[in-house]
Amino acid sequence: MVILKDARKRIGGGWSTRVWNDCWIPNTQTRRVISPRGQSSEDMVVVELFNERANGWNSMIIRQLFLPFEQERILNIRINESKPVDCLCWDLEKDGCYSVRSAYRILAGEDGVAA
């Protein structure tokens, strides 16, 4: 469970990450969108937030759909021009790779043991 709790999707092409259901927002407590969904589809994927002509985010759509703090975090996610496959990353390490050491630190801290 620790891996799932502290992992999030790293956006590549945005095709496999669901906007409203997956953990993909960096630097937030839950890594999930908390903005109200409104009229948008529950199955909306992140690629639908891209502006393909500008090879970046469609800031107008993002400002319509998300709360201000989520707008900022989304717009700061770098989009890789090669659009690789979305993948899981581990936010507790700078390189995004899971490590037993950082998982142990989280577990020890949650259990009240000095890390």
Residue 11 neighbours by CB under 8 Å, 6+ apart: 17, 24, 46, 77, 79, 86
| Reduced DSSP (H G I as helix, E B as strand, rest coil) percent helix, strand, coil of the chain, to 5 | 30, 10, 55
- Each residue's pLDDT tens digit in the chain (115 positions)? 556 666 889 999 999 999 999 999 998 888 999 999 998 999 999 999 999 887 899 999 999 999 999 999 999 999 888 888 998 887 766 776 666 776 677 677 754 444 3
Q: Is the pTM of this model over 0.85?
A: no
The distance between the two most distant Cα atoms of the chain, rounded to a whole number of Å, is 51
The domain limits of the chain are: 9-85
DSSP for residue 36: -
